Amino acid sequence: MASQSSPTVERADSAQLAARNRVEELREQVRHHNRRYFIDDDPEISDADYDALFRELRGIEERYPQLVTADSPTQQVGAEVEQTTFAVVEHPLPMLSLGNAFNADELREWRRRAADLLDRESFIYVTEPKIDGLAIALIYEDGRLVQAATRGDGRRGEDVTPNIRRIPAVPHELTGNPPRRFEVRGEVFMPKQGFEAMNAGIAEQNEALLAAGKRPQRLFANPRNAAAGAVRQKDPRITAQRPLDMAVYQLGWSENGDGRAVPDGHWETLAWLAELGLPATPQAARHDDLEQVIAACERWTRRRDALPFDMDGVVIKVDDIGLQEDLGVVGREPRWAIAWKFPPQEATTVLREIAVNVGRTGSLNPFARLEPVRVGGVTVQNATLHNLGDIHRKDVREGDTVIVRRAGEVIPQVVGPVLSARPEGATVWQMPAACPSCGKPTERREDEAMFYCVNRACEEIVRRSLEHFAGRGGMDIEGLGEKLIAELIEGKFVRDAADIYALPSLREQLGATTFLGVKAKTKAERELAEYWPGQRLSNLLTAIEASKSRGLPALLTGLGIRHVGAEVAGLLAERFGSLEEILQAEQETLAGVEGVGEIIAESVAAWARDDANVELAQRLRTAGVVVELEREAGGEEDAGEPLAGLRFVITGRLEAMSRPQAEAALKRLGAAISGTVSKTTTALIAGEAAGSKLRKAQELDRPIRDESWLLSALQEPSAAAAEFIKAEPEAAEPEAESQQAVLPQED
């Protein structure tokens, strides 16, 4: 009788066969992406997508150990090095990769494994920012740099010594008493500011290339790719032109035959490397237990966008080098170190369409409609594309697979296309010749990147202008939002800002509408009218009346004059005192106001020359809107200037008052108001949804206060002044260089 295999065995064989097929598929994908990232410096997928592939591969290999092979990407580092432009060098000690932890529980599991292996519970840890750059090994002999090599596949790397010598942060000769021959490892990176300036320079060159009908240069997608590409230049002189920096994070090996010993701990080693003149990793810290480490990682996660360099996580190391040796290595990763990975800020998805919306000034603003993708903690379906020049510089086309980035609270943006995934027939996108809202022609103004709708009556321009006028930055008319404005325009109740103040006279007509009226409930009520005025309408009319006294700075902001935001509105109001005086001022006089300048002055003067705008201003005055600057009785003579000598920046949304009102109140107390955060800023006052200015204040370590502090300061300005006058001497001390600083104190 023939033997029959059991169903359980058949299922097991089938599962193993499926696992084997999936492993081969994943290995091929991971190898491909390793080459794109480590060799070509042109990744096709985001770090998060790569991590997902790698974790799936590792998970299958852990379930089926018999499928693990020596050439699997889980057992190797980086990508195999080919001898092309650069000579290939052997690393005396392999340059390893790091395991990843994506949350506190995974970090605790890593610590538990280390504790079990060492049979001990307590460790000292060191945390360091995981700077996103290119790993480099430097070898010094008798204090002189003799070799610099990329990590490569961990065993062999590229000899890039001539290029690394061109990086100012890398010393050619060391100070102190270094070992006769030793190796340090670090990350070559490009600071954000340098990266943005470099891309801006390329973009400027591209404008000239496009004008000449030539193909533009590709912009760099991120600082990491830019740094890696700069290091691998054939001509070291090109490398020297790139804004590169380096941070040394590890002693690789040391020949101690001459008796010059190195420290026993990693923390002390970082300080020792700094004493030798090497640029040790900035902002490292030492911790007594893992909960301190977790708290530090969470702090880094919150402030990652405020740092001057890109980082994708935090590296955690056991401090004691003897314990590091006891823990050893498994596969391609040391057991004594791990990387806490940040939530992803980039993802890849398909750009379905490049659409256009119309702004309040008539500007045509292209944006990307995307296949929904999860990035930065939210699902993203739309992303900004800025203007036509930006689209052409990045060479973004409909149908492309694109990299989308969302950092912090910033609007998602398309970083660039994945050219290897471009569909056949994808064409270069052009701005439509007709406005997508009204169908009227569009034009590109001289010396500007934007296209504009030429139709002043375009419904979209009217709608956006009214939204801006009624919004929080302007006249702050509660209840008058996007939907209601659209209904009022459709019902022909409003066509400009002055019409808003005629709405109270139309109370009965508005009450008879479906969008502001109350629907009749009884038969008797319906016999009188289907709809009539209700509480919502009453609240709206009350808010409109209250907005009349918002003040001149709020009115100027709400009018939407190009380049005139809250800060400039406050400066103009303070200088001229009334809307009439501003509109009658000569352009030269406007430009002479501190903080205004030629471009803003030209814009204000052009707005004032338009008869329709002059008529609008007159109608607003007739409607009872305050168009003069209201100064408090007694003025500065009575109040004094208790905040004199202090400089504040206000950002975000305030609840109790508008930003122009807050700025005016502080100025009356003698404070100076600035639009940018610098080392001379006394404090940043941050309201809700504060953005880049908050990050800049954190980066410069300037004091940050909230709206409740502002209200208290306006009530008791002398107490607020005393707080900062006492603190100023300490704040004014010279700051250490962020990239070259000696290690800070322990946590």
Q: Is 130 a catalytic residue?
A: yes
Distance from C-alpha of 167 to C-alpha of 743, rounded to nearest angstrom: 21
The β-bridge relationship of strands 329-330 and 311-318 is: unpaired
pLDDT digit string, tens, across residues 264-284: 999 999 999 999 999 998 889
Distance from C-alpha of 675 to C-alpha of 597, rounded to nearest angstrom: 14
pLDDT digit string, tens, across residues 442-482: 988 766 778 899 898 899 999 999 999 998 778 999 999 99
Choice among 31-40, 95-104, 311-320, 511-520 with the minimum mean pLDDT: 31-40
In DSSP terms, 384 is beta-bridged to 367, 413
In eight-state DSSP terms, residue 286 is: E
Could you say which architecture CATH assigns to the domain 98-341? 2-Layer Sandwich (3.30)
pLDDT over 60 (residue 730) = no
Total-model pTM: 0.55
Q: pLDDT band at 625, cuts 50/70/90?
A: very high
- pLDDT mean across residues, the chain: 84
Rounded to the nearest 10 degrees, how much is the dihedral formed by the CA atoms of 452, 456, 459, 461?
A: 50
Q: Judge whether 329 and 321 are in contact, CB under 8 Å.
A: no
Rounded to 5 degrees, what are φ and ψ at 173?
-135, 145
Amino acid at 225: N
Catalytic residue among 130, 317, 693, 696: 130
Distance from C-alpha of 274 to C-alpha of 280, rounded to nearest angstrom: 5
User: What are the domain boundaries of the chain?
Assistant: 7-75, 98-341, 346-451, 459-500+502-547, 638-747
Distance from C-alpha of 272 to C-alpha of 688, rounded to nearest angstrom: 44
- Specify the 3-state DSSP secondary structure of 660: helix
Q: pLDDT band at 60, cuts 50/70/90?
A: confident
Q: pLDDT band at 747, cuts 50/70/90?
A: very low
pLDDT digit string, tens, across residues 667-706: 878 888 887 788 888 999 998 777 778 888 888 888 999 8
Q: Judge whether 684 and 693 are in contact, CB under 8 Å.
A: yes
pLDDT computed for residue 81 by the predictor: 61
CATH of span 638-747: 3.40.50.10190
Q: What's the per-residue H, E or C state across 114-161?
A: HHHHHCCCCCCEEEEEEECCEEEEEEEECCEEEEEEECCCCCEEEECH
Could you say which architecture CATH assigns to the domain 459-500+502-547? Orthogonal Bundle (1.10)
pLDDT digit string, tens, across residues 714-728: 888 888 888 887 544
pLDDT computed for residue 683 by the predictor: 92
Q: pLDDT band at 7, cuts 50/70/90?
A: low
Could you say which architecture CATH assigns to the domain 7-75? Orthogonal Bundle (1.10)
Of the candidates 93, 98, 99, the residue with the CA atom closest to the CA atom of residue 155? 93
pLDDT digit string, tens, across residues 540-575: 999 999 999 989 999 999 999 988 888 788 889 888
596 CB-near residues (< 8 Å, 6+ apart): 568, 571, 572, 590
Q: What is the mean pLDDT of residues 533-538?
A: 86
CA angle 165, 168, 172 (to 5 degrees): 45
Q: How many CA atoms lie within 13 A of 614 on its CB side?
A: 9
Rounded to the nearest 10 degrees, how much is the dihedral formed by the CA atoms of 9, 12, 16, 17?
A: 60
pLDDT computed for residue 339 by the predictor: 93
Distance from C-alpha of 30 to C-alpha of 43, rounded to nearest angstrom: 11
Distance from C-alpha of 695 to C-alpha of 304, rounded to nearest angstrom: 9
Of the candidates 222, 218, 228, 184, the residue with the CA atom closest to the CA atom of residue 79? 228
Superfamily of domain covering 346-451: Nucleic acid-binding proteins (2.40.50.140)
Percent of the chain with pLDDT over 90: 39
In DSSP terms, 649 is beta-bridged to 684
- Specify the 3-state DSSP secondary structure of 254: strand
Amino acid at 27: R
